[in-house]
Amino acid sequence: MIKEQGFWLAIDGVDAVGKTTQMKLVAKRVRDRGKDVVCVEEFSDSPLGEMIRLILAKNRFFSLSSDQGSPVADILTLMTDLTYRFETVINPALKAGKIVVSDRGTCSFIGYQTAHLETSQENFYLRGKVSPKDWVEKLVASSFICPNLTILFYLSEKEMVKRIVKRGGSPPLEEEKMFLRRVSEIMDELPEVLIGKVVKIDGEFPAREVTEKIVEAINLHFPP
């Protein structure tokens, strides 16, 4: 499959599990095998992607407005950026037979945005017609944006908080920790039809050991 059409590996999980570090380490290992690799960061280099980064630099979680009743506009904004990355970077690379390694994928999108809807002030304006989780999953399914393989990291809450503080962030508030617990629960239950084949890895292993596990997963599912 790698030789014929390329594949998309999404490295995913909640905050501070080591996604960006592993994206770079895995990309290097795959390049050392003589493969053409494209790394895709969490947000695009478009004006929309830059706006999202500016908002996240001030707030831990993305929100267009602090007083909006429902985060549907936020979700559609993030979905637009994900779709743009897929159409302009990911899909062309796959068609060219390249290997795409991304920092996050559809797994994070569904997990975070479902949790946002569940905890919103109005609890979703389509309440009674469809559940937040069903709505977000249908949004992703209708876009046909699905990695071939998702590496899903899990991490203890204590270690996650430690890493967030170590990289300069403020300790998560209790409601933020509750939110991230819910995100983890949602991601852990997602079907492969939405996020591709899934391999779960303990993010507390040493970085080089985690890289080896990811490379093993690539070799297992997509032999060279």
pLDDT digits (tens, 9 = 90+) for 9-68: 999 998 888 898 999 999 999 999 888 999 999 999 999 999 999 998 888 888 888 777
pLDDT at residue 132, rounded to an integer: 86
pLDDT at residue 125, rounded to an integer: 57
pLDDT at residue 149, rounded to an integer: 95
For 170-206, the DSSP string reads: PPPPHHHHHHHHHHHHHHHT--HHHH-EEEEEETTS-
- Is residue 94 predicted with pLDDT exceeding 90? yes
Instruction: State mean pLDDT over 162-177.
Output: 88
Reference 23, options 86, 102, 94, 93; nearest CA is 102
pLDDT at residue 71, rounded to an integer: 87
Quote the strand ranges of 97-158, DSSP E.
Answer: 99-103, 149-154
Q: Beginning with the edge strand found earlier in the chain, give each strand of the sheet holding 99-103 in spatial order.
A: 37-40, 99-103, 7-12, 149-154, 197-202
In the chain, the percentage of residues whose pLDDT exceeds 90 is 59
Instruction: State mean pLDDT over 144-165.
Output: 91
- Domain formed by 2-221, architecture: 3-Layer(aba) Sandwich (3.40)
Cβ–Cβ < 8 Å for 187, 108: yes
Mean pLDDT of all residues in the chain?
89
pLDDT digits (tens, 9 = 90+) for 121-154: 565 555 667 788 899 999 999 998 999 999 999 9
Domain ranges of the chain: 2-221
The reply to whether the predicted model has a pTM over 0.85 is yes
Cβ–Cβ < 8 Å for 140, 50: no
